Amino acid sequence: MDFEFLAIDYRHPVFSVAMLLLVVAAVAILNHLLAASKKRRQERKLTRFLSRFDSAAQSKDYKALLISQPDSFNSLMLLADIYFKSAQYPESIHIYLALLEIVADKPRRVEAMTRLGRSYHRAGFFQRSRDILLESIKLSARNKEALELLLVIYEQTKEYRRALEVLDALEEIGEDYGRERSFIKIKIIENDPLLPPEKREAALLDLQKQDPRLFRAAFEFALEHDPKGAWLIIDEDRLIDALDLFWRAPKAYFNEEEALKYPLLRELYTAKGWINAAKESAIFELDALIKLGESKNIADLSFEYRCPRCMTSFPMPFLRCPNCLRAEIARVEPVLVKSAKNDGGNYDASANFY
C-alpha cells in the first residue's frame, strides 16, 4: 500500500507555516522561562538584600496583614506616610520592609523602596538610605525622587563628584538643575585642601559671575581670607543675602568709603552706630535701631534664615533647606534682640526684642 499521499513536501507552504509557528512557540516558551528565572533571581536577591536590615524581623505583623489582605497595599503606604510625617521613622521603615518582602509588582516595589530610602535618610542612616535608593534605581533608572534624594545624601557625605554624576542622570530626564550644580561646585571649591585660598577665591568669583545668586558664598569666603578685597566684589543687588555677614564682621574689616556707596550699607552701619549716614530704613529692624539714636546700645540684631519655598526658618544659613531638601539660598531675616552690652551678656539671643 502506498502511503506517499500522507507525506508533506518540506517545500510545501503548510510545512513552512508549521515550522514558523513551532519556532515562535519555542521562542515564546524560552522567553517565558527566562523571564520567570530572572524574576526568581531578582526576588532572591531582594530577599538577601532586605535581610541586611535588622528591622525586617519586626515587620512580621504587617507581612501577615498583607498576606491575608493583598489589597491592603495602599492602606499600609498611607499608614507609613503618617508615621513618616510624625517623625516615627522606625515604624514607617517596618511597614516599607514588609511591603518589599511581599509585593511583587515592580512599580509598587520601586515606590516602597524609594520611600524606605527616604525614611532611612530622615532617621540618619545615610548608608542604608543610599543602598536602598541605588537598588530602586536599578529597577527604575528614571526614578526622579530617588535620584534627587541620592543627590542630597552625596552632598551630606561630601561625595561631591558622585553628586555631579547624579546631576548628569537627572538632567538626562530633561529638567534644569543648574542651581544644584552651582551649589555643589561651591562646596567642591570650599572643601578642596589642595587649592590655595587665593585660587579658591578666584574660582568662587568666576562662579559668581556666571550666577549672581552665589554672591554670598564668594563674599563670605573673601571676607574670611581677604577682608579688604571682599569690599571690592560687592554686588548691590544681592546685598540683602549677606546682611548678617556685614553686621557681624569685626570693625577691623570695615571700609567706610565703600560702605557709603551703597544705601543699604549706609542704613546698616548707621543702625550699628559706626557711621551717621541714614535717617531711616525700609527694613523695620534697621529703622528701629536708627530711630533709637544714642540709645541703640539697648538693642542688637540677630538673624534667622528662612527657606523661600517651604518658609521654615533656621538659626543657621544654608544652600539646601534642611526641611524640604530643595536647593535654595536662605532668605536672611533680621530680628531685634536685647543687647549684650545692656544686659551684662546674660540674655537669650533668640528672644524677640518686643
- Domain-embedded: residue 203: no
List the CATH number of the domain containing 74: 1.25.40.10
The x, y and z cell numbers of residue 249, run together, are 564682621
Whether 125 contacts 97, CB under 8 Å: no
Task: Assess if residue 235 is contained within a domain.
Answer: no
What pLDDT sits at residue 20? 73
Report pLDDT digits (tens) over 313-341: 999 999 999 999 999 899 999 999 988 76
Judge if 30 and 57 occupy the same domain.
no
Q: Are residues 34 and 55 in the same domain?
A: no
The answer to whether residues 152 and 320 touch, using CB atoms and an 8 Å cutoff, is yes
Shared domain for 136 and 60, answered yes or no, is yes
Per-residue pLDDT at 23? 76
User: Do 23 and 115 share a domain, yes or no?
Assistant: no
- Nearest to residue 117, comparing CAs of 98, 136, 100, 103? 136
Residues 145 and 79 grouped into a single domain: yes
Q: Is residue 213 part of a domain?
A: no
**Cβ–Cβ < 8 Å for 93, 116:** yes
Q: Is residue 339 part of a domain?
A: no
| In a shared domain, residues 62 and 130 | yes
Query: Is 263 inside any structural domain?
Result: no
Alpha carbon separation from 64 to 69, 110, 127, 211, 348 (Å, rounded): 8, 21, 29, 54, 52
Does residue 309 register a pLDDT over 50?
A: yes
pLDDT in tens, 256-296: 999 999 999 999 999 999 999 999 999 999 999 999 887 77
Residue partners of 320: CB distance under 8 A and separation at least 6? 152, 155, 183, 326, 327, 328
Whole-number Å distance between alpha carbons of 141 and 248: 46
- Does pTM top 0.85 for this prediction? no
Q: Which residues contact 52 (CB under 8 A, 6 or more apart)?
A: 131
* pLDDT of 345: 40
Question: CA 80, CA 74: separation in Å to the nearest integer?
Answer: 10
What does the pLDDT read at residue 242?
A: 95
Confidence (pLDDT) at 59: 65
Mean pLDDT value across residues 129-156: 94
| Average pLDDT of the residues in 69-79 | 87
Span 63-90, mean pLDDT? 87
- The reported pLDDT for the residue numbered 350 is 39
Query: For a pLDDT cut of 70, what percent of the chain falls above it?
Result: 82
Among residues 260, 291, 288, 261, the alpha carbon closest in space to that of 274 is found at 260
Q: Which domain holds residue 18?
A: 4-41
What average pLDDT does this structure show over 149-169?
A: 95
pLDDT of residue 11: 58
Residues 89 and 146 in one domain: yes
Same domain, yes or no, for 63 and 138? yes
Statement to judge: residues 140 and 84 lie in one domain: yes
Span 103-119, average pLDDT: 93
In a domain? residue 87: yes
> How many domains does the chain divide into?
2
Where does a domain end: 151, 168, 191? 151
Q: What digits encode the pLDDT tens for the residues 188-237?
A: 998 888 889 889 989 999 999 999 989 999 999 999 989 999 999 999 99
92: CB partners within 8 A, 6+ apart: 80, 81, 83, 84, 115, 119
Residues 128, 61 within the same domain: yes
198, with CB counted inside 10 A (0-12, 13-18, 19+), is exposed
pLDDT at position 353: 30
Checking if the pLDDT of 5 tops 60, the result is no
Question: Is residue 55 in a domain?
Answer: yes
Last residue of a domain, one of 98, 131, 151: 151
Secondary structure, 3-state, the chain: CCCHHHCCCCCCHHHHHHHHHHHHHHHHHHHHHHHHHHHHHHHHHHHHHHCCCHHHHHHHHHHHHHHHCHHHHHHHHHHHHHHHHCCCHHHHHHHHHHHHHHCCCHHHHHHHHHHHHHHHHHCCCHHHHHHHHHHHHHHCCCCHHHHHHHHHHHHHCCCHHHHHHHHHHHHHHCCCCHHHHHHHHHHHHHCCCCCCHHHHHHHHHHHHHHCHHHHHHHHHHHHHHCHHHHHHHCCHHHHHHHHHHHHHCCHHHCCHHHHCCCHHHHHHHHHHCCCCCCCCCCCHHHHHHHHHHHHHHHEEEEEEEECCCCCCEECCCCCECCCCCCECCCEEEEEEEECCCCCCCCCCCCCCCC
pLDDT of residue 84: 95
Q: What mean pLDDT comes out for the span 123-149? A: 94
What count of other Cβ atoms lies within 10 Å of the Cβ of residue 200? 19
Q: Answer whether residue 36 shows pLDDT above 90.
A: no
Inside any domain, residue 283: no
Q: Are residues 36 and 56 located together in one domain of the fold?
A: no
pLDDT band at 346 (very low <50, low <70, confident <90, very high): very low
Q: Which of 49-53, 257-261, 299-303, 307-311 has the lowest mean pLDDT?
A: 49-53
Same domain for 29 and 79, yes or no, is no
pLDDT on residue 301: 94
Taking the C-alpha atoms of residue 35 and residue 46, their distance in angstroms, rounded to an integer, is 16
At 351 the pLDDT is: 36
Rounded to a whole number of angstroms, the CA Rg of the chain reads 31
Domain boundary among the residues 151, 174, 195 is at: 151
